[in-house]
Structure 1
Amino acid sequence: MAASVAAAQSPGYILQQNQQTLRNIGASAASAPLASPAVAAPATPAAKLSDNKPRLHLGLLLPVEAPQLGDAAQVVKAGFDAAAQQDSNVQLSFVALASENDAVKGYQQLLAAGANVIVGPLTREGAANVAAQASVPTLVLNTLSKAPAGGKVWSLSLAVESEARQIARMMRDDGRKAPLVLFNNDALSTRLRAAFSESWTQRHPSAPLELNMTQPDGEQLSTLLAGADSVFLALDDKEAEASRALLPAELAAYATSLINTRQAAPALDGVRFVDMPWFLMPNHPDAAGIARPATPLTKATERLYALGVDAFRLGKALGQSRNPASIRLRGVTGDLQLGKDWVIQRELPTAIRGESQ
C-alpha cells in the first residue's frame, strides 16, 4: 500500500482527513482497465440514440498509479464506477495518471478519445492546470484558488470550510448569540476556525469567542464559558472528544463531519454535526441504488467513494444541461447546486452524535 495520502503535496480535505493508510477496496476499484499516462483507456460500450450517436461521452482523469495518491484515487474511481453501473447511456473513457503533473496531457488524450465532458483530476495543482486548459465542460475534484477562464470549469470538493460555514448558519438559526470556538494548531483546525469566524461575522456584529486548546488553560476556559451560550468544536474526533469532556454537559455543542467516525466516543454524545447523506441517510432513494464499497472502509476513506459517485452524476448533468447554473442534484455527498461562480455548493443534513445515524 502507498503511504498515507496526507503527505501529498497541496492536500485538500478529501486527502488530508485520511491519516491512516487507505485499504485496497478490491475489484470494484479496478472495474475499468487502467491506461498508461500516454494512452486513454478503451471506451466502454454506450447505448445509442436513434441517429446512432452516443448520448454522452464522459472522460475520467485520476492519478491511480501515483505513489502517494494512487490509493485515494482508486477509491474515488470505485465510487464513480458504481454510479456508472446504474446508467448504460453514458460512454466512458479513462486515463490513469502516474503523476498529476501529467494531468494536462491526460486531459488532451481524453479529448482526442472523443470525451465531451471530463471529470478530474484530484489535487489542487492538477485541478488548476487542467482548469487553465479546459475546452469542454470539466468537473475538477478539488478547490480552485482563482476563477477559471472560459466558463467551462466547475469545482466539486469536500472542503471542510464549507461545513464550518454551514455550522455557523445553523447556530444562528438555532438562536445562538455567543459561540465559543475551540481549535488547535493543526492546519485543518485552523481552516475550520477561520471559515466559521468569517461566516459568523458576516451576519453578526461581534466576533465569536475563541480558545486555542493546544495547551488548554482551565481558568481561561472557565472565563470564556461564562460568556458563551454554545461551542463550536473546530477539531478532529479525538481532540473534540477530549475538549467536550471539559465542558458543561448542558452547553450546546456543534462540530463538523470530523467527529463522525466509527469509533465510540461517549463524550461527544449530544453534539450536533453535519455529514453527507451517504452516512446519515443510507436508505435515501438517491443513495440506496448505489453499490457500497466491496470491503469495509473507514468513514474518512468512504467519503472519497461518495465523492466518486457524485462526480459521475454531476459530470452527466453538466453534459446534458444547456444551463449548468440551473443544475440541482440531491447527491450522496449533499444537496448540490451550481451557484453564480464555479464552486459546487454542498448543503449537508444534520444529526446528533449518539443518536441513530
Structure 2
Amino acid sequence: MRARLLPLILIPLLMAGCATVSTTPAVTPAEQAAGALLDNGKYREAAQAYLQIANEPRSAVRDRALVHAAEAFERAGDGAAARQTLAQSNRRKLVGEDAFNHDLLNAQFLIEDGRGRDALALLGQNPGSVPDAIRWHSLRARAFTAAGQPFDVAIETAALLQPNAPAKERAANARNVERLLAGVDNGTLSARSAALAGNDPLYPFAARELAKRGLPLPHPLDRSAQVRTQAFPPADSDGYRPPLQLAVLLPSTGSLAGAGAGVRDGILAAYYAETRRRPNIKFYDTNGTAAGAQSAAAQANADGAQLILGPLSRDEINAVFAQNVSGAPIIALNRGVSAPPPGSISFALSPDDEGLFAADRLANRGQLKVLVFTQRDDGGQRALAAFREQLRARGGDVVGEVVVDDGIVDVGPLLAAQTGAGHTAPTAVLLVLKAPQARLVAAQLKVSPFSVLPRVSTSLILNGANARQDVELDGIEFPELPWLLDRRPDLIDADALAAELGTARGPSQRLFAFGMDAWKLAAYLDRLGTDPGYTLRGATGDLRLDSFGIIQRDPSWAVFSGGRPRAAPDGGLQTNAASATR
C-alpha cells in the first residue's frame, strides 16, 4: 500500500500473531485517486471519495476505505465526522496495515477524550518494528500525558530526539524532556533512571536532573562523544579550560559582514576581559558563503586550531558539518539541518526558540487558550509555528489568529471577528509583532473584550522601539537577555560598552551578547560536556548542553513599564489592570 495514503497515521507495525502486510488487499485505482486528493490537501474531497468507495455494492475494501475517510475528516478538522466514520469500520475485517491504522486513529480519539490508559492498549507494539517511529512515539507520549505518567512521557519524547530530525523539533523535544523530568519526585526519578540503559536516549537527561538535585547517578554517563578537549591545558577549579589555539570563523566581507562584526566584537570584549590564561585567537573570513566557510575551516585546521567558533549562517554550518573533515571540534553559531557531528555543538539565538519560551511561559501559568496577533515576517512566522507546536504539546492551542499587516490602522473589526458563537474564549494574548504594530494592537486591546488578558510577546517587539510611545506596551512580557536587565553583574556593563562601541548598542547589541557567550562556551566547553548538572550563566541566558550537542538557553523575562523593558517580577504574567496600578 502506498505510504502516502495516510501520512499521519500510516504505521505498518507487525505484531506477533497478527496478519502480515502481504495479506492486505491491493490498492484500487479509486483509492489511488482518493489518496492523491489527500496528498494535495483536499481533505474533505478525499473523505467523500473514500466514502464513495466504501458505499459501492459489495466493496472489497469497504472497511479500509472508511478508515481512510475518517483520517481525511480528522485532517480537515472535523473530528465528529472522523469518529462517526471510523465507528462504521469493522476492525475484525481489517488486517495488516489497515488494522493498525484503525487502532492508531482510535487511540488518538481515546487520547482526546482523556482515556490515555485505554489508548495505550492499542499502542503496545514492539518499537523495533515501527517504521514511522515519530508518529507512534508521539501518540504514546500523548497517551501517557493523559494517563498522568510524566516519566513515561519523557521516555517517549526522548525517543523522538532523532539526529536527523529538524533542529527546531530537537530543541523543543529536549526542553520538554527536561521539563517533564523536573516534575518527577526524587524516588521515582532515581528508581526509573536506574532501569534505563546507559545508551537510552533519556538517560543523559535523567542524569542531568539527578545531578541538579545532588542525587547519585545509577551508572556513569558517557559524554565522550560530546567533548573533545583532551588536548586542552588543565582546567581551573571552576571548569575554565580554553584551548591553546582558538579559530573564529565569521564573515568580515559579504552580505553578512555587519552581523559578523557584532559577534566578533562580543567575542573580543569577553576575551580581553578575562584575566586568566587566554588562547591564541585567529579570525578567518568566511565571506558568508558555504564555500568560504569550508575553505576557512580547512585553513583553521591546517593552522593547528584546537577549537573552532563559527561559522554563523545555516548554509555555512551545513557545508562545514557536511565537509566531514577530521579536525578541531566546532562550536557552530547557528543550527544546521541536522545534529552537530560527535564532538561539536551548536549555539543559536533562534526565532523558533522564542516561540518555545512564550509557550512555556503561558503554559506554566495555565494560560492554554491563546489569541495570537502576528504579521507576515519570516522570523515572526517561525516563532509562531514553534509557539503553536509547543503549546499543543503542553495541552493548549491557538484559538484565534489575527494578521496585522503594515497598512492596518484599525484592528477593531479583526478583534470583533474573534468573539461570538463558534469562538473559544482565549485566556491570554500573544503578540508576534514589531513595536509599531504591537503599539497599535495594545492600544485597541484596552477597549476590547480582551482588555484584562495577560499578554506576552517575542523580542520582535523591540524592533522599532520608542521609549516615549512604548508606554502603550506597558504590562507586556517578553524574553530578554539577562545582560540587558542588569542580571549578570559578573559581565562587562552593557551601558558602558554601548557608550564606546557601536556594535554594543542598537540592532547589533544582541549579536554582541551572543559573541560574549560564544567565548564563554569556548572557555567552559569541557565542563559543559563532562558535568551533567552544570549551567553556564551567560549574557543571553542560562546555557546548558543537551545530549545532542545543542546548547539549550533559558532567557530572563522582561516587562514593559513606563515604556521601557524592566526585569519581570517572578509572580506571574502582568495584566492591563495590574500595570495600570503600578
Q: TM-score, normalised by structure 1?
A: 0.77
| C-alpha separation in 2, matches of 1:79 and 1:205 | 38
CA-CA distance at 1:95 after TM superposition: 1.4
CA-CA distance at 1:251 after TM superposition: 2.5
Amino acid at match of 1:85: Y
Give the secondary structure class of the aligned counterpart of 1:245: helix
Question: Which residue number in structure 2 is paired with residue 3 of structure 1?
Answer: none
Change (3 A) 1:350 1:60: same
Question: Which residue number in structure 1 is paired with residue 332 of structure 2?
Answer: 140
Contact 2:243 2:523 in 1 (8 A): no
Contact 1:59 1:118 in 2 (8 A): yes
Change (3 A) 1:62 1:234: same
CA-CA distance at 1:324 after TM superposition: 7.3
Pairwise CA RMSD: 2.7
Give the secondary structure class of the aligned counterpart of 2:367: coil
Q: Does 1:330 align with 2:537?
A: yes
More helix by proportion, 1 or 2?
2
Give the secondary structure class of the aligned counterpart of 1:292: helix
Question: Which residue number in structure 1 is paired with residue 375 of structure 2?
Answer: 184
Deviations 1:181-239 (A, max 9, x none): 11122222211211110000001154442222235763341242571221000112222
Question: Which residue number in structure 1 is paired with residue 355 of structure 2?
Answer: 164
Deviations 1:140-176 (A, max 9, x none): 1112111233x12211111011111111111112221
Question: Which residue number in structure 1 is paired with residue 344 of structure 2?
Answer: 153
Question: Which residue number in structure 2 is paired with residue 114 of structure 1?
Answer: 304
Task: State the structure with more CA Rg.
Answer: 2
Amino acid at match of 2:305: A
CA-CA distance at 1:109 after TM superposition: 1.4
Q: Which runs of 5+ in 2 are unaligned?
A: 1-232, 235-241, 567-582
| C-alpha separation in 1, matches of 2:294 and 2:559 | 43
Question: Which residue number in structure 2 is paired with residue 240 of structure 1?
Answer: 438
Contact 1:142 1:157 in 2 (8 A): yes
Question: Which residue number in structure 2 is paired with residue 200 of structure 1?
Answer: 391
Q: Which moved more, 1:232-241 or 1:221-230?
A: 221-230
| C-alpha separation in 2, matches of 1:230 and 1:260 | 20
CA-CA distance at 1:347 after TM superposition: 0.6
* Structural mapping, 1:185-334, within 5 Å: 185-204=376-395, 206-214=397-405, 218-224=412-418, 227-248=425-446, 249-260=451-462, 263-264=466-467, 265-281=470-486, 284-288=489-493, 292-293=497-498, 294-296=500-502, 298-318=505-525, 323=530, 327-334=534-541
| C-alpha separation in 1, matches of 2:531 and 2:269 | 24
Contact 1:57 1:90 in 2 (8 A): no
CA-CA distance at 1:84 after TM superposition: 0.8
Give the secondary structure class of the aligned counterpart of 2:445: coil
Contact 2:340 2:346 in 1 (8 A): no
Contact 1:72 1:304 in 2 (8 A): yes
Contact 2:529 2:545 in 1 (8 A): no
Contact 1:286 1:330 in 2 (8 A): no
- The percent of aligned pairs where both chains have the same amino acid is 29
CA-CA distance at 1:258 after TM superposition: 1.9
Contact 1:82 1:291 in 2 (8 A): no
| C-alpha separation in 2, matches of 1:290 and 1:89 | 27
Change (3 A) 1:289 1:236: closer
Contact 2:482 2:488 in 1 (8 A): no
- Greater RCO, CA 8 A, separation 6+: 1
Q: Does 1:80 align with 2:271?
A: no
Change (3 A) 1:222 1:298: farther
Q: TM-score, normalised by structure 2?
A: 0.49
| C-alpha separation in 1, matches of 2:383 and 2:313 | 20
| C-alpha separation in 1, matches of 2:506 and 2:481 | 11
CA-CA distance at 1:342 after TM superposition: 2.7
Change (3 A) 1:273 1:321: closer
| C-alpha separation in 2, matches of 1:321 and 1:336 | 9
Give the secondary structure class of the aligned counterpart of 1:95: strand
Contact 2:477 2:559 in 1 (8 A): yes
Give the secondary structure class of the aligned counterpart of 2:444: coil
Deviations 1:268-319 (A, max 9, x none): 1110111111212255224549972423454431101111101111022225
Amino acid at match of 2:416: S
| C-alpha separation in 1, matches of 2:535 and 2:305 | 23
| C-alpha separation in 2, matches of 1:283 and 1:343 | 23
| C-alpha separation in 2, matches of 1:305 and 1:153 | 22
| C-alpha separation in 2, matches of 1:152 and 1:130 | 14
Question: Which residue number in structure 1 is paired with residue 560 of structure 2?
Answer: 353
Deviations 1:25-50 (A, max 9, x none): xxxxxxxxxxxxxxxxxxxxxxx88x
| C-alpha separation in 1, matches of 2:347 and 2:494 | 22
Change (3 A) 1:274 1:170: same
